[in-house]
Amino acid sequence: MAGVNAQSRGDGQEQRARDMGMTTEALSGRTQQVFFEPSEEERFTYPWAPEVDYNKRTEIDADGLTTTEVNKRLRDLMAEGYGTVVIQNPRGKHGLGVGILSRLNLIFEGSLGYFGVGLIDGPNVRITGRVGWSCAENMMAGTVVIEKNAGSTFGAAIRGGDLVCRGSVGSRTGIDMKGGTIIVGGDTGALSGFMMQRGRMVVCGNAGKNLGDSMYDGTIYVGGEIRSLGVDAVEAELTDLDKAWLTRKLRQYGLLPEQGVDHFTKVVAGKQLWNYDNLEPNEKKLIL
């Protein structure tokens, strides 16, 4: 696991789970939800996360190194306190920069292959080239900005953070996304937002067929043409709140279209495929 130092690795599963705010004790009927206190550092960072200084900057030349060597070098530099790391010549290698669970300014000068910066929680990443399939899959928090195009399954199953591609992305963008924001400056391919569960996806260009197919929840905003909507994806009214949010988000990444955001189409779940019981099993027992 990323950034896990020797001590915390030795503490065993139980201790580590407790450190992360999870607990294995019997529940006593109170809510399981953990409420965050913004002023508290606790639970915003992992207990073993290295202390890094954004002003300490260094480079890694990935030429001739394997993916494992680059990622190991990155961890070592973070342990040394480097907060800004530039990775040169990634040349489409797969799995670079994965599993970073702490603050970090990470810059890739070039293009990544598959599964680039997957499983991250916290870093701010900038990629000057293109990314392959499944970039930032399972991202928990942080920002990822890609200057060129991206491959398919962009931001698969992300749970938080901002994932931005200034160019066009492939098919199945944001498949199974459970939170966070995906922003695409160009077009997206077929089956984008497939089985989306929560979060927001913004596509400034056109969307391919079956947009939002079988989505449970969440919102998709499309600036251009939608080739077709998927099963149970429906258009909804673009409210002032939506417009305000879109304007703010797109301006933040310099992607705000000249004509503003009024032309965006909003797509949400029709909830006709929903087949949930509204009652919890215990409540059901009481009633039936």
Least gap, CB of 226 to another protein (angstroms): 14
Find all residues with CB under 8 Å of 55, minimum gap 6, and list them.
Answer: 83, 84
Instruction: Measure CA 209 to chain center.
Output: 23
Residue 151 contacts another protein per CB under 8 A: yes
Candidates 20-28, 41-49, 99-107, 167-175 — which segment interacts with another protein by CB under 8 A? Answer: 167-175
- Name which of residues 117 to 136 contact another protein (CB under 8 A): 129-130, 132-133
Least gap, CB of 41 to another protein (angstroms): 39
User: Strands across the sheet with 178-184, in order?
Assistant: 53-61, 82-88, 105-109, 121-127, 141-146, 162-165, 178-184, 198-203, 219-222, 265-269, 233-236
Judged by CB under 8 A, the number of residues near another protein is 27
- Are 238 and 264 spatial neighbours (Cβ–Cβ below 8 Å)? yes
Cβ proximity to another protein: between 174 and 189 the closer is 189
Letters for 11-30 (x = contact with another protein by CB under 8 A, - = none) are: --------------------
Give the CA angle between residues 10, 15, 20 to the nearest 5°: 115
- Name which of residues 98 to 117 contact another protein (CB under 8 A): 110-111, 113-114
Letters for 193-222 (x = contact with another protein by CB under 8 A, - = none) are: ---------------xx-------------
Cα→Cα distances 78→84, 101, 103, 128, Å: 9, 11, 9, 21
Q: Is 8 exposed, middle or buried (0-12, 13-18, 19+ CB in 10 A)?
A: middle
Q: Which parts of 20-172 fold into alpha helices (H)?
A: 67-79
Least gap, CB of 157 to another protein (angstroms): 17
- Are 96 and 90 spatial neighbours (Cβ–Cβ below 8 Å)? yes
Cβ proximity to another protein: between 133 and 221 the closer is 133
First to last CA, the chain: 47
Candidates 69-77, 185-193, 238-246, 255-263 — which segment interacts with another protein by CB under 8 A? Answer: 185-193
Q: Which amino acid is at 155?
A: G
Least gap, CB of 190 to another protein (angstroms): 4
Return the residue of 119, 164, 191, 269 that touches another protein, per CB under 8 A: 191
Q: Which residues bind another protein (CB under 8 A)?
A: 91-94, 110-111, 113-114, 129-130, 132-133, 148-152, 168-172, 189-191, 208-209
